[in-house]
Amino acid sequence: MTESILRLTVNGALHTVVTSSHRTLLEVLRKDLDMTGTKHGCDLGECGACTVLVDSKPMLSCITLASQVEGREITTIEGLSDGPFPDELQTAFSELGAAQCGYCTPGMILSSRSLLDTNPDPTTDDINEALAGNLCRCTGYVAIISAVHLAATRTLGRAE
């Protein structure tokens, strides 16, 4: 097993990790950095639970080698909040019951964050399209869609 030294910028902080060179970003986040907010659901890029943001775009960390994202800005669910202050999406997901078992939630919220960053006032179709790669078995997506709308509304300062 070859080991390599990786320099990863995660949630604004630079981490130097000595790890096997074939480790995926998911494995490095969870095992080397103990950031377990990013979830492991399939290992094959099918479910979206492992979604993180790389330079603000959603990426499936289970099929991304950690070495591929050196020098890029990686954001996980732990880094979406500003310390104790949650992102609008995190608040809206909780308020509207968009998390039931909560396992798809980190990936779902990060995909939603990327959507709102590029499209601050999405239609329901836009949201459905953006989240089509994130599977949820609990909610039927209904509350999730509402939560993304609510977060967008609040960010835009519109009446709810």
Partner 1 sequence: MHAVGTAGPRIDGMEQTMGRTKYTDDMTLPGMLIGRLARSTQAHARIISIDTSAAEALDGVKAVLVGTDLPITYGILPVSQDETALAVGKVRHVGEPIAAVAAIDAETAERAVDLIKATYEPLDTVASIDGALLEDRDLIHGEGKGLNVHRTAALEFGDVDEGLASADHIREDVFYFAGNTHAALELHAALATAEPGGRVTLWSSTQVPHYVHRTLAKVLEMPAGQIRVVAAPVGGGFGGKTDPFSHEIVAAKLAMVTGRPVKFTLTREEVFYAHRGRHPVLMWVKTGFDTEGRITACHFKTFLEGGAFGSYGAASLYYTGALQTSTYQIPNYRFEGVRVFTNKPPCGPKRGHGTPQPRFALECQLDKAAEDLGIDPVAIRLINAVEPNSMTVNHLRITSCALSECIERVAEASGFKEKFENLPAGKGVGIAVGAYMCGAGLPIYFNEMPQSEVQIKVDRGGGVTVFSMATDIGQGSTTMLATVVAEVLGLEPSDIAMVTADTDLTPVDLGSYSSRVTFMGGNAALEAGTAVKDRVFAAVADKLGAPIESLVAQNGRIEDAEEPDTGVSWAEAVALAIASGGPLIESGSYRAPKLAGPYKGAGVGISPAYSYSAAVVEVDCDPDTGIVTVDKVWLAHDIGQSINPLLVEGQIEGGVYMGLGEALFEADDFRGALHRGPSLLDYKMPTSLDMPPVEAILIDSDDPEGPFGAKEVGQGPLLPVIPAVANAIWNALGIRMDQTPFTPDKIVAALRDVARGKPGRFGPKEVPAFEFPPLIMVEPPEGFPTGRIHIEVGVS
Distance CA 15, CA 160 (A): 40
Distance CA 156, CA 35 (A): 31
User: Residues 139, 149, 150, 152: which binds partner 1 (CB under 8 A)?
Assistant: 139
CA proximity to 2, closest of 20, 18, 14: 20
Binding string, 10-49, against partner 1, x = CB under 8 A?
A: ----------x---------x---x-xxxxxxxxx-xx-x
Give yes or no for residue 63 binding partner 1 (CB under 8 A).
no
* Amino acid code (one letter) for 1: M
What token pair was written down for 66? 């950690």
Give yes or no for residue 93 binding partner 1 (CB under 8 A).
yes
Residues at the site binding partner 1, with contacts judged by CB under 8 A: 1, 20, 30, 34, 36-44, 46-47, 49, 76-78, 80-81, 86, 89-91, 93-106, 109, 127-129, 131-145
